[in-house]
Amino acid sequence: MKLFFLGIGGTLMGNLALLAKAAGHDVTGCDGAIYPPMSTVLADAGIDALEGFDEAMLSPRPDLVILGNAGLPRGHAGVEAVLSAGVPFMSGAQWLGETLLRERHVLAVAGTHGKTTTTAMLTWILTCAGLEPGYLIGGVARDLPRAAELGGGQYFVVEADEYDCSFFDRRSKFVHYHPRTLIVNNLEYDHADIFPDLRSIQDQFHLLLRTVPAEGQILYPAGVDAIDEVLERGCWSTTVPLQSQEHGGREEGDAPWTLAFGPRKGDVPRVFKGKEDLGALELTLSGRHNAQNALAALAAAHHVGVAPQVALDALKRFKGVKRRLEVLYEDATVVVYDDFAHHPTAIRSTLQGLRERVGGEEIIALIEPRSHTMSLGALRPALAHCTAPADAAHWLSTPRITWDLTSLSQDSITPTTVHQKAEGLLEAALRRPPNGPSPRRHLVCMSNGDFQNLPQRLAQRCAELSATTG
């Protein structure tokens, strides 16, 4: 088929175009602007991706137009041209579900946080087990050659996003995927631009549950009210609760899978299936949230026949995903990180995981509240506490912010400064007080955007200072 991707520069759409090309389709597309790395990836695959839109791009007439949802409302020139020409069209999520996933055993990873890391973990486990899975991940996994592959086996692992599909399909993308193995990592309020409240998000998750067959499995953390409420609305599949226990205790009535944490700081958690001790969960990634992500991936892999010991060995070698506490620069006195966290819960769990790893060393959080939810102030009460594991926090106020960010300076329990320009934030991050609290400091840049290239600029400045001071 001749496919035209309208919005090809986005992460999902660009990777779908790669999968379509690999499946043998004739693929072209356009977007308002297409930047590296996606522009480079598409060019390397031989896909003609054009900037802007002109009606001539629809000639010769494609068999199908696949539409993204970012920046493509009614009134967009491309959308109007497609509708006027009567060219068949569908959303990217619908095309993925109907074309590539229909004959596969789909393992989907949903939830507010941790989807990308958990999807990458699960894909890596299945790869190490020799199952040759197809996959689609919303990030760059260090252990895999690219973010999307058709795979050669019956399994397909997909990051299942709750954001809507397109201007004509306001349901969450994941309703098109029809998984047989479903992980729901967590469930909180997010995406304030399209969801008025948590209940409206729960409505979409319940639609997802309705698509899982009776012999399928739904894996989720035990004791999360928002998830329990969705399950109570009706569930027709096998439910598999996952639990965490402190101090390695084992009690009657445990969940099928348990992550048991030891009593001492630095103890490696152990994995139990029922009462059977399967061994230590050794990870290169820090934080309990990543240990819980790993337990979900291990349990999901077990549903398709992967032995727990194979999964534990794979997880021990898992290197993680770019922009998830990614180290950009490190020397004896400073470490600069780039991190994608953009929700209060993700910010806090990331910083807490780092705190557990570095002990009393100084942690400085540098945050750009760029997402719709953050810029609209929907979760502003939680922002006063989310940086608690850090020694200090610096926030960047941008024109996207619709509320007074300076209130954080008074409300936060962490010493906090709000900056109007990225340059001021950068200089503040480099400035050390005399007799600082520790010989080493950790500068954590957190944003779901490019943060005006601050992480890279900060890493460069630190390298230059190190060279100067010798």
Please write the tens of the pLDDT for every residue from 203-236: 999 999 999 999 999 999 999 999 999 999 999 9
The answer to whether the beta carbons of residues 82 and 63 sit under 8 Å apart is no
Looking at the domain covering 326-469, what would its CATH class be?
A: alpha beta
pLDDT > 70: percent of the chain: 93
Q: How confident is the model at residue 132 (pLDDT cuts 50, 70, 90)?
A: very high
DSSP per-residue codes, 172-187: BGGGGT--SEEEE---
- Please state the rounded mean pLDDT for residues 274-282: 92
Q: Is the pLDDT of residue 250 over 80?
A: no
Please write the tens of the pLDDT for every residue from 399-418: 777 777 777 777 787 888 88
- Which of 87, 79, 93, 126 lies closest to 19 in space, CA to CA? 93
- According to the model, what pLDDT value does residue 434 have? 58
- According to the model, what pLDDT value does residue 324 have? 78
Please write the tens of the pLDDT for every residue from 279-303: 999 998 877 888 999 999 999 999 9
pTM summary value? 0.85
Q: How confident is the model at residue 265 (pLDDT cuts 50, 70, 90)?
A: low
Please write the tens of the pLDDT for every residue from 83-117: 999 999 999 999 999 999 999 999 999 998 888 89
Its CATH architecture, for the domain 2-92, is 3-Layer(aba) Sandwich (3.40)
Q: Is the pLDDT of residue 341 over 60?
A: yes
Looking at the domain covering 101-316, what would its CATH class be?
A: alpha beta
**Same fold across 2-92 and 101-316:** no
Q: For residues 78 and 469, which has the higher predicted lDDT (pLDDT)?
A: 78
- According to the model, what pLDDT value does residue 252 have? 46
Structure tokens at 42: 């598409």
How many Cβ atoms from other residues are within 10 Å of residue 151's Cβ?
A: 21
The full set of domain ranges for the chain reads: 2-92, 101-316, 326-469
Residue 428 CA to residue 418 CA, distance in Å, equals 11
Q: Is the pLDDT of residue 374 over 70?
A: no
Q: How confident is the model at residue 64 (pLDDT cuts 50, 70, 90)?
A: very high
Query: What's the burial of 314, exposed, middle or buried (CB within 10 Å: 0-12/13-18/19+)?
Result: buried
Spatial CB neighbours of 136, under 8 Å, sequence gap ≥ 6: 12, 15, 16, 19, 96, 147, 148, 156, 157, 158, 159
- According to the model, what pLDDT value does residue 375 have? 67
Residue 366 CA to residue 396 CA, distance in Å, equals 8
Sheet containing 64-67: which strands, arranged edge to edge? 48-51, 26-31, 2-6, 64-67, 89-91
CA dihedral angle for residue 73, residue 75, residue 81, residue 87, rounded to 10 degrees = 40
- End-to-end Cα spacing for the chain: 60
Spatial CB neighbours of 321, under 8 Å, sequence gap ≥ 6: 116, 117, 120, 137, 139, 140, 141, 142
Average pLDDT, the chain: 88
Q: Is the pLDDT of residue 248 over 60?
A: no
Residue 317 CA to residue 189 CA, distance in Å, equals 33
